[in-house]
Structure 1
């Protein structure tokens, strides 16, 4: 497949006017020193400062710079989605606009993709320059959970500096808050050669972080959603049907046992309690009803899945 340049660099941003000129100069210096043909795609996610004006000025002076501007803030995933759609380089990079990601890392990551044959190379901020209490500890817990659920052995799933083979970003859809899990999306699309590279992390030079501690809670919930969709998205009955059937059988067995115990004690002239006087009976009935509801939910989800336009969407590696 032919590509119009070696590298596409996607820079999603929100209110980063102070850093954009310095960032582009740094990128241009590294690209020219290594002889790469490249493009830089700035995606302005509804900035309220002068970010778009700066991007316009940079693009006016450099033909390999493009810009996309949203009317309002939609989030990083939306910015990356449109950046991936526009990228035409052999290797696609993503990096933040706050100067914390170093463009000096790009040549080695490019080599890892093109020479070593990796599909995804994720940056690993091994020595973070953030606040250790509010960023480092939650980040370690978050990444440990992500490694356990996804099976991808990355130390820093959320690092903004990543490199992708072009066909990877064209084969996945980033939406909601799923930008944190692009390596997992790539894995589910069949691109399993995923690795990481320790990268230099710098202190923020301008402005303040746009992300708070709540991103870790939201990130965990998004991870569970992504895991569920990737595992049961095309076969929802396997989850809802099995769980519902299990609950139904459990409740049914409990009900039969309660009634049988009452009848046996009654026939033997032993002391017994009325079935309706036992809390366990109502718990059993509740379990049966929940089982039926879950089974019906799985049946409805299965019908929706079978009528979805995505039901036969698969990534084909090659044809003869």
Structure 2
């Protein structure tokens, strides 16, 4: 199979039929062997009924229905597990991503050898204050923190070599950072393509301003995981050692001062250095324990899914 199109969605009943026919037209006109995987992330409208109807009319259409809303990352994870295409395309279901971009994205992966190609909505039709400016700040911080030079981490339109999506595990709210996860997994050839952004035709956006706050928090998380996710003791142990040695230094200073310099001076417990030493050693011990617990957790954790599926159409 050439292409799997993975589409997470939430309450997009107005756009699904139009999106399906648009994708099918592009695929058929280019002679692709394809599948379209819709992941219904707990919709409360008729989205799943539409997906069921489409699957009966076209065997290329597959679907996954979640028990309730688990989030876009979990929807992509489920879609990636099902996908069989050599190239996997992700896009949103709101018609703001243009399916006509699929052939060029496919060629960049198959002919140009990219592991991952991310869309860049260079010209946007969103509110400049509500989305554009926060998005630019977010993308700037993501580039500087991750080292992945993309202009639009949040663009839902991306193309992946199958090896990438079968290797990278997308959990929590990490869908924004799949390129970073891919880079950390050894897929270094990451490209970007300017894509057409469509104005929203139906409904309203499912993401508010809070997604940027969550995005920055996730950025801190992925920075930590990138550097220390496989070796937490390297971070906690290093800081623990620093704090502990600070405590030891002040303890030695107080002991020498009391024994040889100010033998009849005030009590050690009346001096601020005593509390610095005590606090530093306690913090150092706690950081060491955090590192050990992190190492134990990594060695004992079992794979688990952060979502539950109600129904599958294959």
Same fold flag (TM > 0.5): yes
Structure 1 match to 2:180: 184
* CA distances 1:96-138 after superposition (whole Å, capped 9, x unpaired): 0001000111111111000000000000111111111111111
Structure 2 residue aligned with 1:313: none
RMSD (CA atoms): 1.8
**In the alignment, which residue of structure 2 is the partner of 1:232?**
228
Any residues of structure 2 matched to 1:150-161 within 5 Å, and which?
150-161=146-157
**Which residue pairs with 2:29 in the alignment?**
33
Which has the higher relative contact order, 1 or 2, with Cα contacts under 8 A spaced 6 or more apart? 2
Alignment match, 1:302: 295
Give the corresponding residue for 1:317. Answer: none
Whole-angstrom distance in 2 between the partners of 1:205 and 1:122: 23
Could you say what secondary structure the match of 1:92 adopts? strand
TM-superposed CA distance for 1:43, in Å, is 0.7
Query: Is residue 2:130 matched to residue 1:134?
Result: yes
Q: Kindly provide the CA deviation profile for residues 160-216 of structure 1, in whole angstroms up to 9, marking residues without a partner as x.
A: 000000111111111111111111111122111111111111111111111111111
Task: Quote the residue 2:78 is aligned against.
Answer: 82
Corresponding residue number in structure 1 for 2:39: 43
Deviation string, structure 1 residues 23-51 (Cα, Å, up to 9, x no partner): 11111222222222211111111100111
Q: Provide the secondary structure at the position in 1 that maps to 2:118.
A: strand
Q: Would you say 1:103 and 2:99 are equivalent positions?
A: yes
Give 1:273 deviation, angstroms: 5.0
Find the partner of 2:53 among 52, 57, 67.
Answer: 57
Secondary structure at the residue paired with 1:211? coil
Aligned equivalents of 1:80, 1:300: Cα separation in 2: 30
SS in structure 2 opposite 1:154? coil
Q: How many residues align?
A: 303
SS of the equivalent of 2:117 reads strand
CA drift of 1:307 comes to: 4.2
Where structure 1 has 5 or more consecutive residues not aligned to the other structure, the ranges are: 311-320
What is the rounded CA distance, in whole Å, between the counterparts of 1:224 and 1:76 in structure 2? 19
How many angstroms apart in 2 are the aligned matches of 1:279 and 1:213? 46
TM-score for the superposition, normalised by structure 1 = 0.89
Residue 262 of structure 1: how far off its partner (Å): 5.3
* Correspondence for 1:293: 286
Secondary structure at the aligned position of 1:195 is classed as: strand
| Partners of 1:156 and 1:259 in 2: CA distance | 58
Q: How far, CA to CA, are the matches of 2:282 and 2:276 in structure 1?
A: 10
Deviation at residue 300 of structure 1 after TM alignment = 3.0
Specify the alignment match of 1:17 in structure 2.
13
Cα drift, residue 264 of structure 1: 5.6
Tell me the distance in 2 between the aligned counterparts of 1:232 and 1:297.
13
What is the CA distance between 1:226 and its match in structure 2? 2.5
Q: How does 1:207-286 map to 2 (within 5 A)?
A: 207-261=203-257, 265-266=261-262, 274-286=267-279
